[in-house]
Chains A and B, each alone.
Chain A
Amino acid sequence: MSWYQNRNSKRGLWLSTPAFLLFMLVSVNVAAEPAPNAVQQPDLMAPAMAQAVVVPASGTPQASVAAPAPVDAAVSLPVPVTVPAPPATAPYSVGFDKINAGDTAWMLTSTALVLLMTIPGLALFYAGMVRKKNVLATALQSFTIVCLVTIIWVVLGYSLAFTPGASQFIGGLDRFMLHGMFYDKASSTLSVSHIAPSIPESVYVMFQLTFAIITPALITGAFAERMKFTAMVVFMTLWSLLVYAPVAHVMWEPSGLFATSGMLDFAGGTVVHINAGVAGLVCAYMLGSRRGYGREPFSPNNLIYTMIGAALLWVGWFGFNAGSAVASDGRAGMAMLVTQIATASAALTWMAIEWIRKSHATMLGACSGAVAGLVAITPASGFVGVGGALAIGLAAGFFCFWGATGLKHMLRVDDSLDVFGIHGVGGIVGAILTGVFADKALSGVDANLMLQVIGTVSTLIYSGVVTWIILLLVDAVIGLRVSEDDELDGLDISQHAERVI
């Protein structure tokens, strides 16, 4: 039994899957050759950690050491020097006075904004694009995922994603049921995450929860109009734990492999969008095309819903990107600015392409372009300036248009609402261009293009293969797809006994 099997033998069968082996193989290569300028989570931790002085439950106390006396010193007495405490490696407790009210206020706001992206943002965005007989079912999928992932997250997901584990691939079980997270008014202490030490841990748990919610919710667009509701619930439960949590850990937990290697993903281009995009593509392949696909028109039932949804996504994305600064500071302001610029740039690019190809711009195109820009700027939002944002927006508009049209036809897959074409392709464009346009003046780190590519490819492979295995399992036990009659009747009636008049 090899070293990793020994270490992970109790973690479940999935760790022995070919996908995980491949993921580890690629990852170990990355670890063996760290980026020359790699730093450990410099964007989030460095300034705040230097201020952490309270001895935590599981954190690291400030240290006092005696510095060696200089050789030519007249007096050879040791001089006591206080050095900053090394970064904490796990959640710990602090006094109320260590909590930054401004940061906390902004993170509470950001959390609400990101939740707004899923309900009602994404629910409306998707519901407007399906046929009338599937509107309720499509919106309900997003709503259900909000409830489902919330429970999964507090029980196990947060612990697996955002606490240090025995390996660089998955977190520990220390925070099972959010164990150890507390707020104690009597002693004026509360717990904070080592990743976000200036805000209460409860706020950080909630903020990251909204990311864990929207990622599987994005996938629903790929299998819209044909998946069983029960199968969707089981699939999303497994996917959240087996795909989202490990990928989030590897990328964002300071001990995670890509975090230590120096790969840049400010707000989730890889963790959220590439991850959801490729999972959506696999879902679309596994479920097969909708009945009549390619022969009948599948007209969107109400593009005003889609426009409202896209607008809510746009506004909510400020919480997503600027919130990922985990502070109410200048960097958050830059993230917000570049988000706006890239989104506008991508929407205009998409409409321009439509104008050239079809002689008209469309509402759906404008919304799609905007979302493409939002997706692509996500990993780069804390690292690039105005020029980079313009370029990323332009590239996102162009490549995502191709992804939702040309690539979709090449792949011969009924990705109902173009989840891969926009989120997958946009995420890849953003991840790679982050390596090109990242500005050291903004973040203090240099980007490594090769690392960005390796991280992107690893995530594509890991997420794709594990998603495929989960779908095989769910198909064998429950069955993925509704019957032909149910599909013809529409999911609103057949799955939920409701309909829109």
Chain B
Amino acid sequence: MNESEKLSVAGLISIALRRKLNRVIDVEWMLHNEDYAREVMRIARKQDMTELTHYAERMEELIFGKAAAVQSVPIAQDTKREPSTVNDVEDEVVIESQYIGALR
């Protein structure tokens, strides 16, 4: 696992949470404080979004390792898809990614 992958996934969670909850998280702090990261992932899982849940799992795996990630996955996951929301998030990810290291 490398730092840039962690940052990338944390960025995706950040964008999705801002979109869904209008909630801003500190991406860098998430990588440095495990308690903060757990709380962010807990909130992410609560949102009924498949994509966000997937990001949270991936983040957990990157930070705590695979075993921890499997253990913490909720048993009753809501797998109901919300296509428009997911697409919006993906669009946003594409839009936001163009501003990494560049404005124009």
Contact = CB atoms under 8 A, between A and B. Distances in A.
Contact of B104 (A295, A299, A365): A365
Interface stretch (B33-41, B56-64, B93-101): B93-101
Interface in A335-392: 364-365, 368
Interface in A264-301: 291-300
A404 interface: yes
Given A296-B27, A488-B26, A418 B104 contact: yes
B28 A298 contact: no
Interface in B3-34: 4, 7, 11, 15, 26-29
Contacts of A408: 102
Interface residue SS majority, chain B: helix
Contacts of A488: 26, 28-29
A299 B28 CA distance: 16
A129 B28 CA distance: 22
B28 A294 contact: no
Contacts of B98: 297
A296 B100 contact: yes
Contacts of A298: 99-100, 103
B51 to A, nearest CB: 17
Nearest to B104: A404
Contact of A299 (B7, B26, B99): B99
Given A292-B27, A488-B26, A488-B28, A297 B103 contact: no
* Residue from A298, A401, A409 having most chain B Cβ neighbours under 10 A: A298
A292 B28 contact: yes
A300 B100 CA distance: 11
Contacts of B104: 364-365, 368, 401, 404-405, 418, 421
Interface string A423-454: 00000000000000000000000000000000
Contact of A297 (B4, B26, B29, B97): B97
Interface in B78-104: 95-104
A294 B101 contact: yes
Given A291-B28, A488-B26, A488-B28, A300 B99 contact: yes
A217 interface: no
Given A364-B104, A488-B28, A295 B4 contact: yes
* Residue from A295, A297, A364, A408 having most chain B Cβ neighbours under 10 A: A297
A416 interface: yes
A488 B28 CA distance: 9
A297 B28 contact: no
A401 B4 CA distance: 28
A218 to B, nearest CB: 16
A418 B103 contact: yes
Interface in A96-139: 129
B102 A295 contact: no
A293 B103 contact: no
B101 A416 contact: no
A213 interface: no
B100 A295 contact: yes
Nearest to B7: A295
B102 A296 contact: no
Contacts of B97: 297
Interface string A289-316: 0011111111110000000000000000
B85 to A, nearest CB: 19
A297 B7 contact: no
A417 interface: yes
Interface in A168-190: none
Contact of B96 (A294, A297, A421): A297
B103 A296 contact: no
A299 B29 CA distance: 19
Nearest to A367: B104
Contacts of B7: 295-296
Contacts of A300: 99, 103
Nearest to A362: B104
A129 B103 contact: yes
Nearest to A292: B28
Contact of B99 (A291, A297, A417): A297
28 contacts: A293-B101, A294-B100, A295-B4, A295-B7, A295-B100, A295-B101, A296-B7, A296-B27, A297-B15, A297-B96, A297-B100, A298-B99, A298-B100, A298-B103, A299-B95, A299-B96, A299-B99, A300-B103, A365-B104, A368-B104, A401-B104, A404-B103, A405-B102, A405-B104, A416-B103, A417-B103, A421-B104, A488-B26
- List 5 tightest A-B contacts by C-beta distance, closest first: A297-B96, A294-B101, A297-B99, A404-B104, A299-B99
Given A297-B98, A365-B104, A405-B104, 11 more contacts: A291-B28, A295-B4, A296-B100, A297-B99, A297-B100, A298-B100, A298-B103, A368-B104, A405-B102, A416-B103, A418-B103
